[in-house]
DNA sequence: GGACGAACCAATCCGAAAATGGTCCAAATA
DNA sequence: TATTTGGACCATTTTCGGATTGGTTCGTCC
């Protein structure tokens, strides 16, 4: 196979690549120029470049150039498309899935600085002069919990969920001159979550978060005119698979911080 | 307040907006032109536009123009930044959080077409001629499970996790002429997950997925030279908070499809 | 058969010019 | 006095043409 000049070009190319300063530009000269520099034809150089690309040393893109290192990541997420075919119920389901576990991991991994941030959010949300301001601090609180897990991936996931949530038409949006009433259900629920995190009680934190989300969901569905979620307040009826739940959930979510 | 010409401009503007065809462009004429069309000065028109913007009818942006409808959502996620400060352990933690619940919801909501897709992935992954091809079908399988939940938000979340996972440097990447051995651990584990989904057994599906992820994590950490996760195989030691887990997990993840 | 050179293609980048919303100000107007 | 008007700037964005660059296909020559 690769006999003759192609192999020579590959060797010369590797040597040229090795002899360049470490702080050199990630971008290589254009093929035409590089071919002239190495004393090879462009076609031959391209074969050598193809080898380097196959082994992951470089990556190329039409119109951009040839670069050394890993190919950059492109988002690939078409948010506006997701938003069009999603519903508030979907968002609530995702929140139920994510946020209790975030609270749980926050109780395990949260730092003192994280807790300061959470307490700040609690205080400010009580002082909020209008709904818009309240929602800012509410949002910042939930994000702070994700931050307290110490896991940037989880934080990114919650951020993604947030952008979707914020973009959905929530029917009535309660903006106005009024302010949240002092006995707004979220206040006590938020404080319960933060208290459990502060006491390093993971189960209690997750439980408190579930209670909070159940409350939010009930209000949301009521506002949308839907029927309440079946079994959301019963809490009875321990089925046969319960023991498996214990064996699964407890050991496999250790919450190690890497 | 808005006395005199401003009010008149607002009325004329509303009328002009109402009288345009439904399929008209979302983009309004430039302010200078629109002002001339309505016979108002630009400053007055801008006050009227400010009212419409405050009530959410239109949105504006410098250099772009004025548009009717909701303001488009911007990603706000800087993926390349997240990737730089994250670790394989973080990604595994996120997978443990997400994917078992996805399997659970897939068992509840998956359609026959979804199951066909999953079985196709199983078959193709066994036939894969090299690791690269195997990882394609493996990836498509996990994505298919998220698809089977019927929740586009969860699918978007898994996609986001995937882009992060794919971008991280996984140390050894097992690309090469070899192919996955026929007794590769993932085969049986994947089939267990899909079987549980097909039998509509949510708990079993979640359990099988946890087992699979635990296996993946063990191999990953071994390859990276880390110590195994404490308690990942013990599964004993039922602590005091277990009953609460039951009361929490079971009723609050109903998996309703909206 | 393989290497070379040339030409062409489609995607991308680049820079200047135009377009657009945001802002300020003095004159005109009621 | 209070409001409107027209004009001039500003910062951001779009637009558009030309240059750049990797991808591809020829004919030609060893």
pLDDT, one tens digit per residue, over B129-164 is 777 778 888 988 999 999 999 999 999 999 889 888
User: Which three-class secondary structure string do you get for A109-121?
Assistant: HCCHHHHHHHHHH
The pLDDT assigned to A233 comes to 42
Out of A126-135, A198-207, B69-78, pick the least confident: B69-78
Out of A72-81, A184-193, B13-22, B116-125, pick the least confident: A72-81
Distance CA B200, CA B100 (A): 14
User: Residue B248 pLDDT more than 60?
Assistant: no
CB-nearest partner of A167 from B73, B160, B207: B73
Compute the Cα dihedral for A165, A166, A171, A172 and give only its sign.
positive
The pLDDT assigned to B238 comes to 33
Residue partners of A194: CB distance under 8 A and separation at least 6? A115, A118, A119, A122, A141
Is residue B199 a contact partner of residue B207, using CB atoms and an 8 Å limit? no
Tokens of B215: 């296996």
Distance CA B125, CA B140 (A): 10
pLDDT digits (tens, 9 = 90+) for B29-47: 999 999 999 999 999 999 9
The pLDDT assigned to A246 comes to 36
Q: Which residues are within 7 Å of strand C by their Cβ atom?
A: A 3-6, 9, 40-44, 47, 61-64; B 28, 30-33, 42-43, 46, 49, 60-66
Sequence-distant contacts of B220-226: CB under 8 A, at least 24 apart: B220/B88, B220/B92, B220/B170, B221/B89, B223/B171, B223/B172, B224/B88, B224/B171, B226/B89
The pLDDT assigned to B233 comes to 43
Out of A145-154, B165-174, B223-232, pick the least confident: B223-232
Distance CA A193, CA A115 (A): 11
The pLDDT assigned to A146 comes to 97
The pLDDT assigned to A10 comes to 96
Q: Check B93 against A249: CB less than 8 A apart.
A: no
Out of A142-146, A208-212, B125-129, B225-229, pick the least confident: B225-229
Distance from CA of A3 to the nearest CA of B (A): 21
Shortest CA to C1' contact from A66: nucleotide: D22
Distance CA A235, CA B204 (A): 21
CB-nearest partner of A154 from B73, B94, B151: B94
Considering only residues 27-86 of protein chain A, which place a Cβ less than 7 A from any atom of strand D? 28, 30-33, 42-43, 46, 49, 60-66
The pLDDT assigned to A170 comes to 61
* Contacts B235 to A, Cβ<8 Å: 247, 250-251
pLDDT digits (tens, 9 = 90+) for B100-109: 999 999 999 9
* Contacts A242 to B, Cβ<8 Å: 246, 250
Q: Check A157 against B156: CB less than 8 A apart.
A: no
What count of CB pairs under 8 Å joins A to B? Answer: 202
Q: Summarize the confidence of residues A118-141 as an average pLDDT.
A: 88
| Residue closest to D23 C1′ by Cα | A62
User: Residue B252 pLDDT more than 60?
Assistant: no
Q: Summarize the confidence of residues B111-121 as an average pLDDT.
A: 95
Highest mean pLDDT: which range of A17-26, B193-202, B220-229: B193-202
Does residue B167 belong to the interface with chain A, where contact is any CB pair within 8 Å?
yes
What are the counts of helices (DSSP H) followed by strands (DSSP E) for chain A?
11, 2
């Amino acid at each position: 196979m690769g006999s003759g000049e192609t192999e020579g070009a590959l060797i010369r190319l590797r040597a040229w690549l090795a002899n360049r300063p470490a702080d050199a530009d990630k971008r290589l000269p254009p093929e035409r120029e590089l071919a002239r520099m190495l004393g090879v034809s462009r076609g031959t150089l391209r074969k050598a470049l193809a080898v380097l690309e196959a082994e992951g040393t470089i990556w190329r893109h039409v119109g951009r150039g040839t670069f050394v290192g890993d190919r950059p990541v492109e988002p690939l997420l078409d948010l506006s498309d997701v938003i069009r075919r999603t519903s508030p119920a979907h968002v609530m389901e995702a929140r139920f899935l994510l946020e209790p576990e975030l609270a749980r991991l926050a109780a395990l991994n949260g730092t003192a600085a994280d807790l300061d941030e959470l307490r700040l959010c609690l205080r400010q949300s009580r002082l909020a002069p209008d709904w818009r301001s309240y929602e800012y601090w509410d949002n910042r609180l939930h994000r702070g919990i994700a931050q307290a897990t110490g896991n940037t991936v989880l934080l990114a996931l919650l951020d993604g969920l947030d952008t979707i949530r914020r973009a959905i038409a929530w029917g009535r949006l309660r903006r106005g001159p009024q302010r949240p009433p002092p006995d707004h259900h979220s206040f006590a629920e938020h404080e319960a979550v933060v208290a459990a995190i502060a006491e390093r009680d993971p189960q209690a934190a997750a439980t408190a978060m579930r209670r909070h989300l159940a409350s939010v969901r009930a209000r949301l569905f009521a506002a949308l005119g839907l029927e309440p979620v079946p079994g959301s307040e019963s809490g009875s009826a321990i089925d046969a698979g319960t023991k498996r739940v214990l064996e699964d959930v407890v050991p496999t979510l250790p919450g190690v911080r890497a």
